[in-house]
Structure 1
Amino acid sequence: MSDSAITYTLYVQADPARVWQALTEPAFTRRYWGPVFETDWAVGSTMDWVERGVRTSDPEQVVLDCVPHRLLSYTWHTFTPQWAASVGIGEELRAELAGERRTKVTYEIEPVGDALARLTILHEGFEPGGSLIGMCSRAWPMIASSLKTLLETGAPLPEPEGESPGHGGG
């Protein structure tokens, strides 16, 4: 981790196509993370984030790159009052997050043998010293671990008490 980026690499006992499903299909993202992404995954398409009954839409919340089973990149989401209320974040922190520049998430999926994939998550463009990088640096390990556990066992990790994987500002 630097002062403006988070990189997290994990190995998943699943082929790249299955990891891709976990990153893009609502039936998966809802189980290990919480939000569902409504988009067609075409470059330039907007992404609606739907979490806990709240839809977050923004014309700058878009797919940046998409190569099925290999690469996915999108802008990080918009911090609305409705989203904050649904996940239990106060207005002061929400306003602080909204005031920081929009970040970008990139997933690289690489095959490693027959049924093993290396997934690298790069979340970059943070305001150095900002609140968002701190929140996301705590959330990404839980989100990635829950994704890995779901793919390898069929069940995501349980939510730690008082937390939601989506509370990473995402």
Structure 2
Amino acid sequence: MDSNAFVYTTYLRTTPDELWRALTDPALTRRYWGVAFETDWTAGAPMVWDEGGRSTSDPGQVVLAAEPGRLLSYTWHTFTPEWAEAVGIGEEVYGRLAKERRSKVTFAIEPAGDIVKLTVVHDDLEPDGMIRDLIGEGWPALLSSLKSLLETGEELPEPPR
């Protein structure tokens, strides 16, 4: 893990299998994240990100590790003009994001008695990069919505921008 990594840990009242399902099932990821992943969740498999009605595919978007109920890791998506338009990112911000190297995210799932510890590590980030700033706000909001969905059956409303 590099020193610019973003690390976030949370505890959820769920099971490792249910958390895995929430991280990989398109019907669930769409609810709390607004993204669906097309992949077979095996190491090396390509990933297509479907967000805002736009699909993003690239040979560099791949599953790095997949151990159901334990560990999930993949490369972060490719920034395209179509993606930027779909999510409402302006040209200047898109241009900065597109220049940054591809990062990766890892979800470590650990049973902790009657709950589950989830640690998210997003690394390979550019020092002082824009992605680092965006995920610093994005991951806590997204993981709070995931937690709410698993514990109450309802995801959180999208925070105001």
TM-score bracket relative to the smaller structure? over 0.9
**Counterpart in the other structure of 1:106:** 106
Letter matched to residue 118 of structure 1: K
Identity of matched residues, % = 56
1:31 Cα shift? 0.5
Match of 1:23 in 2: 23
- Deviation track 1:105-145 (CA, whole Å, cap 9, x = no partner) reads 0000001113x100000000111111110001010000000
Report the 3-state secondary structure (helix = DSSP H, G, I; strand = E; otherwise coil) of the residue aligned with 1:84.
helix
What are the ranges of 5 or more consecutive residues in structure 1 without an aligned counterpart?
Answer: 163-170
Separation in 2, partners of 1:56, 1:144? 22
RMSD: 1.0
Q: Which amino acid aligns with 1:41?
A: W
Indicate the residue corresponding to 1:167 in structure 2. Answer: none
TM-score normalised by length of structure 2: 0.97
1:4 pairs with 2:23 = no
Tell me, yes or no, if structure 1 residue 147 matches structure 2 residue 146.
Answer: yes
**Equivalence for 1:129:** 128
Unpaired runs of at least 5, structure 2 = none
**TM-score (structure 1 length as normaliser):** 0.92
In structure 2, distance between residues paired with 1:15 and 1:79? 33
Runs (4+) off by over 4 Å = none
- 1:72-114 CA-to-partner distances (Å, cap 9, x unmatched) read 0000000000000011101111111111010010000001113
Cα deviation for residue 161 of structure 1 reads 2.1
Write the distance in 2 (CA, Å) between the matches of 1:66 and 1:161: 33
Task: Find the aligned partners of 1:91 and 1:47 in 2 and give their Cα distance.
Answer: 25
